[in-house]
Structure 1
Amino acid sequence: MALAPPPDDSLNDSATAHPAPTVRLAMVAPRLLTTPSKALLILATLVFVTHVLPEMVTHGLDAQNLSWAAALLGLSSLVLVSRALLRPRQPQTIDFADDHVTLPKSAHSRRRHTVAYADINAIFRMEQRNEEVVLIDTKRRLISYNQSSFLQPEALASLWSEILSNVRALPDGRARLERMRALANTAYLTGFNRTRITRGLLALIALVFLVQVYSAALLNPFRMIDLGANSATLVAEGQWFRLVSANFLHGNWPHVIVNGVALFFLGTVLERLLGSRRLLFIFLVSALGGALASMLAAQGALSVGASTALFGLLGALGVVHLKFHRQLPVPYRQSVRWWVIILGLNTLLPLLIAMIDVAAHAGGFLAGALATWALLVGVSEFDPSRAPPRWLRLANAIVVAAFAIGIAQTVVYAINDHPGDDVRVLEDYLARAQTDGADALYLIAWSNAHDDRIERPRLELALRAGQQAQALEPQRADIAQVIARLQFRLAQMSENSPPD
């Protein structure tokens, strides 16, 4: 995404005057599948091919695999049905009136918004993937159109000039155009901030995930203990490096893909707004804060994922919005509706998915918000080119050094044997797991039941986890099946073990 520099005459009288006012702009024929819907379908297919299908081939059609398949099929069906309902029957149009303009949400949606010219805060031109885009910022929402949305190649320029002409005709039109010019200049300057830290963090997470795949750590969550997964039990014993390493590990393909997409979006936006040094500080402090909160809460046996830092970036973005609000350029400012949806989803998901580490998310969010507040103390005007505070260089050096030491200790730990660590983690968890529900206990029993590389002590603890799950929900057939498999494997071990 690149913002075009605001032309010298883009907001003056000559640019907004044209001989014949445009009344209607025709858009292209609506498509059934939009880019977001295609992305969801591709993601569902990828999860099925890389995660569900291999499990079905290896372990058969058990309850967990069937649940995953049903969820992915339901998601795909929902996408197709919703698009069929939302796709307009006729091509959309943009309609201009004396005091308002009617703007479709997109060429491929039935939704239309009537916007008074007085409610338009700004209009921006930018280039995205070698195509010109116009962003219209209104009091209630942000609407964007690209060149390919229209039948006529000159339609985007007509949209731009028509809106500016009608805004200028307002009683305070000149002042409004000056504010638009100031915002356009700020947006242009923001685009100069490079996103090196975001790209570097994405590369590091991808590299660590490849190590997980190569070492078969994805087959059983407890194998990630060797790679530095966060564990309250082991951190309390002095393995503090797990507060660092766990932030770069992920449980499966969907986990790393979702977090990677979130990091790309949040990291890019914040690095553009605040600069690379500030982003690095916020990310690392949030990661430590979230990992520490997870360790103190000890919700599960293990905790992994960059969501500690991602929630910190979300908290940072919230602080930036609260502090600067309308000073932020349109491409980097999120609407109230966006915040309601994001915060609402992240409040709802832990109620539906027991494995989500709420403490890690909350700790990361709070750490990121506080770190950003500290970075912006005394700053009242948004300026993307503002130099960071002097203390940040030293603070970054300390935090980066702590992470480097933690990663080095993780590597040393990973290349050596540490028998008994996994057993102690599981024993400690089972002693307090009754409050976590049957699903978490079942997952432990199931993952260990299908891991042919574990030894008898952990297999016995997995059986205990299955029995605790069955005590909580005795009617579940999938729990009974896992218990039977564990008992069978233990019986096989007894038969094959040499006599005393």
Structure 2
Amino acid sequence: MIVKFQPGFRVTPALLILNLLMFLVVAVVNGNFSQFSTQSLLMLGANYSNLVEQGQWWRLLTSVFLHLSLMHLVFNSASLFVLGRFIEPLLGSTAFLLVYLLCGLAGSLASYHFNPGILSAGASGAIFGLFGIFLAVLLSNIVRPDLRKEWLKSVGAVLAINLGLGLFLPIDNSAHLGGLASGVVLGLILLPWMRSRLRRLLNNDLTLR
């Protein structure tokens, strides 16, 4: 059984557009789409522990909407689109936005704590938080056992690849793990809410097949 969750898919497109607009702002400030200066990223809200410690705590959130390259934006946008189509209707748009922001904030805090002196930006912490929500759902009885096993393998492989790349590339695994952990915790807390939402969605005759 696959539920088509198009209804309620509003916040995800808005986040995708916001991330794109912020990328275009950074590109305009730098005069190109490939090389972003540290100064411009800091000016527009990138996460940097030295400035955060000076009281610029807002960077922990604004950095979630900045990306360091076009490829960075594309990968995060694709992940957000796929996960958002499933998770936003299951949580509801308001709860989805709160979870996204909280997981992004958790990722930034983890980066701030474990990577002092390193500039970081991107939606990866928030997106790994959505993976955490998805894992919490898969570990419950919301999903059919045969699908659960198949999806757990797929999600596990994606997470392993991404975290593995962080061992060799300049990728902020601290933000990834912070977002993932917060997503799992929030997902487990919100399981009763998601079960209730799913029952209401099914009662509203969403297309099944």
Report the equivalent of 2:41: 224
Contact 1:273–1:384 (CA<8 Å) still a contact in 2? no
Aligned pairs for 1:260-279 (under 5 A) are 260-279=77-96
Aligned pairs for 1:411-430 (under 5 A) are none
Compared with structure 1, are the counterparts of its residues 224 and 346 closer, same or farther at alpha carbon in structure 2 (3 Å cutoff)?
same
Superposed CA offset, 1:254-300 (max 9, x none): 11111111111111121133322221121011011111111111255
Superposed CA offset, 1:224-252 (max 9, x none): 11111101110011001101110001111
Aligned pairs for 1:455-474 (under 5 A) are none
Compared with structure 1, are the counterparts of its residues 239 and 381 closer, same or farther at alpha carbon in structure 2 (3 Å cutoff)?
closer
Contact 1:275–1:384 (CA<8 Å) still a contact in 2? no
Corresponding position: 1:383 with 2:173: no
Report the equivalent of 1:321: 138
Compared with structure 1, are the counterparts of its residues 358 and 194 closer, same or farther at alpha carbon in structure 2 (3 Å cutoff)?
same
Contact 1:299–1:357 (CA<8 Å) still a contact in 2? no
Q: Supply the AA of the counterpart residue of 2:8.
A: R
Q: Distance in 1 between matches of 2:6 and 2:193?
A: 24
Q: Supply the AA of the counterpart residue of 2:20.
A: A
Q: Supply the AA of the counterpart residue of 2:95.
A: R
Aligned pairs for 1:193-272 (under 5 A) are 193-216=7-30, 218-272=35-89
Aligned pairs for 1:343-382 (under 5 A) are 343-353=159-169, 355-377=170-192
Q: Supply the AA of the counterpart residue of 1:202.
A: L
Q: Supply the AA of the counterpart residue of 2:166.
A: P
Contact 1:272–1:384 (CA<8 Å) still a contact in 2? no
Contact 1:314–1:365 (CA<8 Å) still a contact in 2? yes
Aligned pairs for 1:327-342 (under 5 A) are 327=144, 335-342=151-158
Q: Distance in 1 between matches of 2:149 and 2:75?
A: 21
The alpha carbon displacement at 1:191 in A equals 2.8
Task: Report sequence identity in percent.
Answer: 34
- Higher fraction of helix: 2
Matched residue SS, 1:228: coil
Contact 1:230–1:291 (CA<8 Å) still a contact in 2? yes
Matched residue SS, 1:352: coil
Aligned pairs for 1:76-115 (under 5 A) are none
Matched residue SS, 2:166: helix
Q: Distance in 2 between matches of 1:236 and 1:352?
A: 28
Moved more, 368-377 or 246-255: 368-377
Matched residue SS, 1:335: helix
Q: Distance in 2 between matches of 1:278 and 1:329?
A: 28
- Higher fraction of strand: 1
Compared with structure 1, are the counterparts of its residues 262 and 333 closer, same or farther at alpha carbon in structure 2 (3 Å cutoff)?
farther
Contact 2:142–2:195 (CA<8 Å) still a contact in 1? no
Q: Distance in 2 between matches of 1:281 and 1:265?
A: 18
Superposed CA offset, 1:64-109 (max 9, x none): xxxxxxxxxxxxxxxxxxxxxxxxxxxxxxxxxxxxxxxxxxxxxx
Runs of 5+ in structure 1 lacking a partner? 1-182, 387-500
Contact 2:50–2:116 (CA<8 Å) still a contact in 1? no
Q: Supply the AA of the counterpart residue of 2:77.
A: G
The alpha carbon displacement at 1:314 in A equals 0.5
Compared with structure 1, are the counterparts of its residues 192 and 343 closer, same or farther at alpha carbon in structure 2 (3 Å cutoff)?
closer
Runs of 5+ in structure 2 lacking a partner? 202-209
Contact 2:137–2:143 (CA<8 Å) still a contact in 1? no
TM-score, with structure 2 as normaliser:
0.84
Contact 2:5–2:86 (CA<8 Å) still a contact in 1? no
Report the equivalent of 2:123: 306
Contact 1:250–1:304 (CA<8 Å) still a contact in 2? yes
Contact 1:229–1:303 (CA<8 Å) still a contact in 2? yes
Q: Supply the AA of the counterpart residue of 2:164.
A: L
Contact 1:327–1:382 (CA<8 Å) still a contact in 2? no
Q: Distance in 2 between matches of 1:318 and 1:382?
A: 17
Q: Distance in 1 between matches of 2:7 and 2:199?
A: 8
Aligned pairs for 1:180-195 (under 5 A) are 183=1, 187=3, 190-191=4-5, 193-195=7-9
Q: Supply the AA of the counterpart residue of 2:25.
A: V
Compared with structure 1, are the counterparts of its residues 379 and 272 closer, same or farther at alpha carbon in structure 2 (3 Å cutoff)?
closer
How many residue pairs align between the two structures? 198
Compared with structure 1, are the counterparts of its residues 221 and 379 closer, same or farther at alpha carbon in structure 2 (3 Å cutoff)?
closer
Compared with structure 1, are the counterparts of its residues 192 and 247 closer, same or farther at alpha carbon in structure 2 (3 Å cutoff)?
closer
Q: Distance in 1 between matches of 2:194 and 2:80?
A: 26
Q: Distance in 1 between matches of 2:114 and 2:8?
A: 37
Higher relative contact order (CA 8 A, sep 6+): 2
